[in-house]
Each structure stands twice: as C-alpha cells, then as structure tokens.
Structure 1
Amino acid sequence: MKRLALASLALVTVVALSGCTAIQRATQGDEKPDGSTSFTYWSMWSEGEPQQLALQAAIDDFTDETGIEVDVEWIGRDNVKKLSPTLNSPTAPADLIDAAQRNIKSVLVSTESSHSMNDVLASEIPGEGVTVESVIPEDYLDMITVDGETWMLPYQVISSAFWYNRAEHPELVTDPPAEWDDLIAWLDASKAAGRTPLAQDGDIANFNLYYYAELAVRNMGAGELHAAAADPTGDAFTQQGFIDAAAQLQQLVDGGYFIDGYSSSKWPAMQQKWAQNDADLIFNGTWIPHETKSSTADGFEYGAFPMPRTSPDGDASQEVSLIGFGIPANAANTDAAEQFIAYFMKKEQLEGVSTLAGNMTPRADIDVPAELADIKALIDDADSVHGQFDLVIDDYGDWTTKVLIPLVNKLAFGAISAQEFSSQLPKDSATYWANNG
C-alpha cells in the first residue's frame, strides 16, 4: 500500500480537477450493447499479489462460463497513468481498469472520460437473482456518483483507524478513548509506563496527512475540509475548527508521543516496530495487518478504534475509501467488461478479496478477515462515512500536494507551530488558487 499511496499522490497531480463533471453512457436510447466476445483489462495489481490471484481466478472462471476472453495486463499502480494520454483517442487501449477511487476520479471523471456504471448496477449478479446495486451500501454509492451517474464499481473497501495489539491492551478492547482528552490521557499513561505511544513512518506524506485531515473532520464535520480546499480566498481555513485541528496535532508532537526518529524514518521501519510492540498505536489503513503479519510479536492480535471525537457531540463518522473498476468512455468493448464486473460481484468470486487478499469487500454477506473485524464494526456502527482525507486528494490533488501536505509535514515534525500553520495555510491556499484558478 505504500506503492499505492505514492502512485496515487503522483497521479492526482497530473490532472487538474474542476469539480463535478458529466459521466458518459456508451449505450443510450435504442442503441444495442456492443455484443463483444472479448475485452482488454489493465489492472493496478502486479502478478503474484493476492488481489491479482483472486482476480485471475475469477477471469478464468468467467471465460470458462461465458466464452468471453479477457486480455489482462497486470501493469501495477501506474495503469491509470498509462491510460491517461489515450483518453482522447478514438478507442481506448483498455476496456476496463481498476484503481483506487481517487485515481479513477482524477483521470476519468475529471476529464469527462468515464463510462457510467448505472447499467452494471441494474444488472443481475449471475446465479444470485439480485442486482449488483443491491449488494453495495448506499453510502458507498453516494461517494462515487455524480449527477445520478455512478463512475466506478467498488470491490474492495479501505478504512483507517488507530491500530493496537489486543493481547497487550485489553483495556482498549472494552473501553477505547471516545474523546480527544481520553486519548491524550491514555497516551500519557503509556509514556508514564515507559512505553512509546505512537508509531509513525514519517516519510509517507499521506500518513502525516491522516492526522490533520481526520482531526479537521472531527472538529468541522465531514465535507468541510473539502469545501475549504476550494475556497479561492483561503479564508475558510481561519475557522476555529481548522485551527483546533492543527493545535491537536501539535499537542501530539509536543507531548513526545511519536516514536523516536519518526521524522527521518524510512517505511516500513516504524510500522514494523509497532508490530513488535515497540509502540502501542499506529494510525493507518486496513492494509496494515497484511503488511505487518510477517513481523508481528508472538500472540499479536489486531485491534482498531477510530480517531476520537473532539467534543461530546462532535463528528463520529468513519473514514472509508474504495478500490474498484472503471470503464473509459471510449472503450470499444463495454458490454463484455460490464458482464465481467457483474460476474466478479458474485459472492463466490468476490470473497477471494477477503480470503486470498485479506481485505474487506462491499458485500455484507462476505466475512471479513479476523484482523479487520474491529474496523468493519466501526464502519457498520457509524451513523455515516466520510471519504479518505475528506476527499481533498480526490478532487484537489495538486492543491493537496503543493499546499496542504508540505505544511502538515512541517507541523507533524515540529518544524512549525500550530499557530504558524494556521496563519500560513490560508495564505498559501489563496496564492495557489490565484495562480491556478
């Protein structure tokens, strides 16, 4: 997932986003499906990765059952970047791609080059007698729909939280910190006991951004950071909730809670230390069990709890992002690609994302890996969900990379104060939009 994070950051700076755009339909009115008997698929996974194995098994079964051939290329994380220059050509070289939500949005949706998934949603999952739409939570669909047209079809669900070893910290199983002050008290107790409270691989910019973005959501509510990012004056960032989020991140830095050397660390050194119980907590994504399982201490049991509320009635939504399929608007074989998507949503096929790849799927009837049971419960129990980083990378990737992340890094490493951060962010944001508006 480090590669996914870095590739995503690089990709979203390639395309300048301008808000919601139209999603195109390849088959409208009385037009007939293309009747294709093959299609080309450029995948974000590389050969040998668990997701690749699950998808390859489904491709083989799909071809056996339908006769439709799948020309698949396991390109890796640059698949959408490779597709981008072809979007204005008469025919796309790939009929189907998969990618992180923000990458599909930044390359296909922002350029009005995305084929609508509405027909897929309305189609029946082979052999199950239910539609594709019926097995995907409405909250997820809301995140990937523009003007009534859904632009991707998710098959993997990602979320983030504070991770810990349940065997070492049973108190967190029964009574995790519910509010910010509770978390600070727990971190203080960890230090007082001679432990290191927080692990952090500081060289991954997204990991530092987690703290500020999640605290901004907790203080301001979901969608407010996203809205502030688009403010051409930068004045939105003078609101108290954003100032409080910066102060809370500084509180973690000044408290000495982060593991020694995090600001100069090289991934995955610090998450491995966490897995060895050299630090109590790490704020990270649902890939963390997969990435650390080979280095965990004996008896390690994965547990998770969310970023605490910052006030008793504050935001308590759970962060979610998606990985799934997209179809270019200029694809030649949309019918066959759509059939495969519906086929892969079959329970017996999609559950490979859980059993082989150790990840969550959108389907409620597919068991999650034991390591993700806590975070799945967080999603299920939350009143609502919000997008990763409040969707600022999805829609304002260049701004996030050039304005927000550099300041967050300085704050997270103690190079500037929260006051300096809160003074500079409005100015830098206004300057960015003056030059890029």
Structure 2
Amino acid sequence: MRNRAIAVATCASAVLALGACGQKLQDAGPSATAGAEPANLLYWGKWAKGTPQANLFESVIADYTKQTGVKIDVQWLAQGQEQQVKNAVATGAGPDFFDTAIDHTAEFRTAGVLGDMGPIFRTKIPGESGTIEEVLPKSVLKAISDDKGYGFVPHSVFSIGLWYDSAKYPDFAPQSFDELLEIAKKEKASGRAPIALDGSVNAYNSFWIHQMLLSTAGPGILLKLAEDPAAWDLPEVKRAAKALESLVKAELFEPDYMATKFPAAQNAWAGGKHSFILNGSWLGSETASLRAAAVKPRIIAFPPVDPAKGSVATVGALGWGVNAKSKNQKAVADFLAFAMQKKYIDRIGTDAANIPSRIDSPAPVELQQLQASIRDAEQVTLDGDGVSTVKPKWLADVFLPLDDKFVAGKLSAEEFLAEGKAKTAAMNG
C-alpha cells in the first residue's frame, strides 16, 4: 500500500492551531449523579432548519430526551454563529455545545471557548463496546487535532478530489497525473472538453497546484513558499508547476473557463458536458438536482504527480465543539456519545449525502473511494498548509493572483516560479 498524505480542506479558509491555552474540562462520566435532576443543555447550531443535518440532529435530540429525560434546547443561528459563540462565552454565558469545523478551531482556542476534549473522547458510546475516540479513523483524529489536543467531536468528513463520470469510465483508476492527462487528451481529441473549471473562483483554481505540490513536495510546502523565497527554487516545486503547465497547455478545460460565472462549470459537469472536475466531496449532492440521468458521479483522491511519493487525499471535518466554561460537561459528554452511535452517524451518509466520520459508517456510493483514501491516510496537513491564517496577505496578494494567471495560461511555469519568488521576497522584506 502506498503512503498517503492528507490535506485538511475547509469550505472557506484553512486554519493553523494557535498557541492559546484551553481550559481543562472535568472528567466525562454519567451526566447526572444519583438522585439529581438531569441537566438541561443548550445547543447552538449553524444548519438551516429543515436541512437534512438539522432534521437528523433534532431526531437524535428527541431520542436522547425520551431515553434520559435531559432536555436540549437547540437554536439554529445560521451565519455568524461563530462570533455569537465567542461573544457569549466571553461573558460567561453561551451554549453548552455548538456546531463547528476545522477552520474555526484556532479562533475558538484563542477566545478561550475550547478546553481539553480528551475526557469526552474517552466516553463510551451507549450500546457499543468502543469510545468516541475508538470509532474514528486515526487520520480523522489527526485532522481535528492541534497542539492542545482534539478540537471537537466530528460527525462528518469532507474532502477535495477528482470527480469523474463512472458511466463513461467504469474502471477509472489513474495511478498518476500523467495517466489522467493522457485520458483527458484522448477525450479532447474526440471533440469534447474533458475538464470543467469555474475559473472565476480563485480557490478552485488553486486546488490544482496545491494537489500537485502536495504530491511532489509533501505537506507544508505552501507554508514554505510563503515564508522562504528560496523554496520556489526547489526541484519538487518546479516539477509540480511543470505538471500544471502541461495541463493548461493541453487546453483541456472548457472554453473560456476563466470567464465562467459560478456555478456554470460545475452545473455543466453535472449535466454531462464534461467528464472531470476537481472539487469538494460536497459537489455531488450540491449538483444532484441538475444531474443528467446518464451521469454516474464518483470521486477519487487526486492522482499523484509523483507516484513514488503516494497519492494525496484531502479531508476536513464538521462536528460539535464544547464550551469549556459550561457547567454541564458530563451531560454534554453523555449526549455526544449518544449522538455518535453508528445508527445515527450512518445517516450522515444516507440522509445528508456526506462522508460519515465513523470508520464503520459507509459513505454514499459516489464518495466511497474517497472515503477509503481518507481512512487509510497516514499523514495530515491543513488545506493550503494553513497559509490563510498565518500568511493571509501573502495568499491574497501574491499566491492566488499568480496562480490565477498561471491557470489562465498567462504565465509559464518559469515565470510563475520567478514571480512567486520575487514577490515573496519583497513582501517578507
């Protein structure tokens, strides 16, 4: 089996763990002592009411209340929920637990919202033999961790990979980027634009170079490029740039891809006009209503530029954070263990069409190849190596604009590398 590296992907920005100290949570055990009234809990959620996730979590809460008598007041706050959590916790109030994701761990640490989640992860899941920690893949445990430990209890995993039409390519399994390139070139020769790209979205453009860099130079390479101008001269970086240049020169994206109005390209892919698109694991469900009947979407980890170094899968996670200042730590641990039962996490796949966090909960069929890549991964890093947090100005002013020009074919690989080195040096002084 080849070694695999995971890049932790987030929907908006990547995050690095910051050095804020969390608060120690009390040991998680039974939620109430003998003879005591069960503690009622407050949950602040971000899902819109009526969505599959909101419906699922409301049903879990109803089952829990029926079995334990513990009432959980759920409030769906939608956008801006993170700031509301931080503001409330700062005043000594706020929810007992709340929705969160990898890209918010650092800000919650800094604000003192999160504490030591270890006791919660060691809580036994009712009706099962294992704890929360024991039912999660090691790769996911790494992904949700920083130097203070686990950041939250994950229920869903998301990722970035290469979507393809399995109806057209039933045995699609390129072992390298070069193999993918040849497949795409053959399709172009038949008169079809093989790859869809919403080129007006700079994050989608950057998926390409980041996947290639992770394959050739490994996790942490974008952070090196942001911090050290000399990193732009590394042969592994040049190899990735040359690979992307070969893709751009082959003209395999749809016509006028840099001028598409999102989500035109992904919708065209769903409609069967293109066979491939590099995007998130959420794309299948996001475009399901537009999917042509003949299209059978599947997603795999991006084929590596350097097969000797292994393929690269990307992973992120969504889940529940716990207020370190909550006086109901034991009750929260009890509920989260209840919610992590297989029968509920399975529904992340069946009801929400996402990748469940548990190692034994199957993803929808179109996501199962990617789920296997995540499950078997041995290394983790952040999407973009965390530069959006530690080097946001470099990302916005240097890397993304240069990458847009590179993907558009306005820069050669040599020009991309030379300008990246020069602009990085100028910014770093």
TM-score past 0.5 threshold: yes
Q: How many residue pairs were aligned?
A: 416
Specify the alignment match of 2:150 in structure 1: 150
Q: Once the 2 structures are TM-superposed, how far is the Cα of residue 301 of structure 1 from its aligned partner?
A: 1.4
Deviation at 1:327, TM superposition (A): 2.1
How far residue 363 of structure 1 moved from its aligned partner, in angstroms, is: 1.5
Counterpart CA distance in 2 for 1:421 and 1:80 is 37
Structure 2 length-normalised TM: 0.87
Q: 1:427 to 1:94 in 2, by over 3 A?
A: farther
Give the partner amino acid of 1:96: F
285-294 or 389-398, which moves further after superposition? 389-398
Asked if 1:389 is matched to 2:391, the reply is no
Task: Name 1:340's counterpart in structure 2.
Answer: 335
Question: Are residue 102 (structure 1) and residue 103 (structure 2) matched?
Answer: yes
Opposite residue 109 of structure 1, the aligned amino acid is R
- Alpha-carbon deviation of 1:344? 1.0
Report 1:60-99 matches (<5 A). Answer: 60-87=62-89, 89-99=90-100
Give the alignment of 1:183-262 within 5 angstroms: 183-229=180-226, 231=227, 233-262=228-257
Q: 2:25 touches 2:119 (CA, 8 Å); kept in 1?
A: no
Match of 2:132 in 1: 132
Task: Give 2:421's aligned residue.
Answer: 426
In structure 2, the CA distance between the partners of 1:226 and 1:256, relative to structure 1 (3 Å rule), is same
Confirm or deny that 1:24 pairs with 2:26: no
* Structure 1 CA distance for aligned equivalents of residues 63 and 192 of structure 2: 51
More divergent stretch after superposition (44-53 vs 325-334): 325-334
Partner of 1:58: 60
Matches within 5 A, 1:298-313: 298-313=293-308
Q: Which ranges in structure 2 are unaligned for 5 or more consecutive residues?
A: 1-8
CA contact (8 A) 2:25 2:117 kept: no
Q: Once the 2 structures are TM-superposed, how far is the Cα of residue 332 of structure 1 from its aligned partner?
A: 4.4
Distance 1:322 1:63 in 2: 26
| CA pair 20-316 structure 1, distance change in 2 beyond 3 A | farther
Hey, what's the Cα distance between the residues in 2 that align with 1:338 and 1:65?
A: 15
Instruction: Give the direction of change, closer, same or farther, for the CA distance of 1:22–1:246 in structure 2 (3 Å limit).
Output: farther
Does the C-alpha gap of structure 1 residues 81 and 260 become closer, same or farther in structure 2, counting only changes over 3 Å? farther
Aligned AA (1:141): L
Give 1:216 deviation, angstroms. Answer: 0.8
Ranges in structure 1 where 5+ consecutive residues have no aligned partner:
none
Give how far 1:258 is off: 0.9
Cα drift, residue 166 of structure 1: 0.8
Match of 1:297 in 2: 292
Q: Deviations over 1:378-421 (max 9, x none)?
A: 33455555543344446655643444323222322234333232
2-structure distance, mates of 1:338, 1:274: 43
SS at match of 2:159: strand
CA RMSD after TM alignment: 2.9
Distance 1:219 1:20, change over 3 A: farther
Q: Is the 8 A contact 1:108 1:328 kept in 2?
A: no
Identity %: 28
Deviation at 1:56, TM superposition (A): 1.3
Question: What's the CA shift for 1:360?
Answer: 1.2
- Are 1:288 and 2:287 matched, yes or no? no
Query: Could you give the per-residue CA deviations for residues 135-188 of structure 1, whole angstroms, max 9, x where no partner exists?
Result: 01122212222346211111101122111111112342xxx2212222221121
Which amino acid is 1:154 matched to? P
Give the Cα–Cα distance (whole angstroms) in 2 for the partners of residues 227 and 139 of structure 1.
Answer: 23
Q: Give the direction of change, closer, same or farther, for the CA distance of 1:359–1:423 in structure 2 (3 Å limit).
A: same
Q: 1:26-78, CA deviations, whole angstroms, 9 ceiling, x for partnerless residues?
A: 3279xx99997122222221112211111111111122222222222212243
8 A contact 1:225–1:390 mirrored in 2: yes
- CA gap of 1:42–1:391, structure 2 versus 1, over 3 A, is same
TM-score normalised per structure 1:
0.86
Deviations 1:256-284 (A, max 9, x none): 11112321222221111111221110011
2:400 maps to 405
Aligned partners of 2:392 and 2:194: how far apart in 1? 31
CA distance in 1, matches of 2:112, 2:317: 20
Alpha-carbon distance between aligned partners in 1 of 2:401 and 2:88, rounded to the nearest angstrom: 32
Q: Distance in 1 between matches of 2:93 and 2:203?
A: 31
Match of 1:44 in 2: 46
CA distance in structure 2 between the partners assigned to 1:145 and 1:307 by the alignment: 24
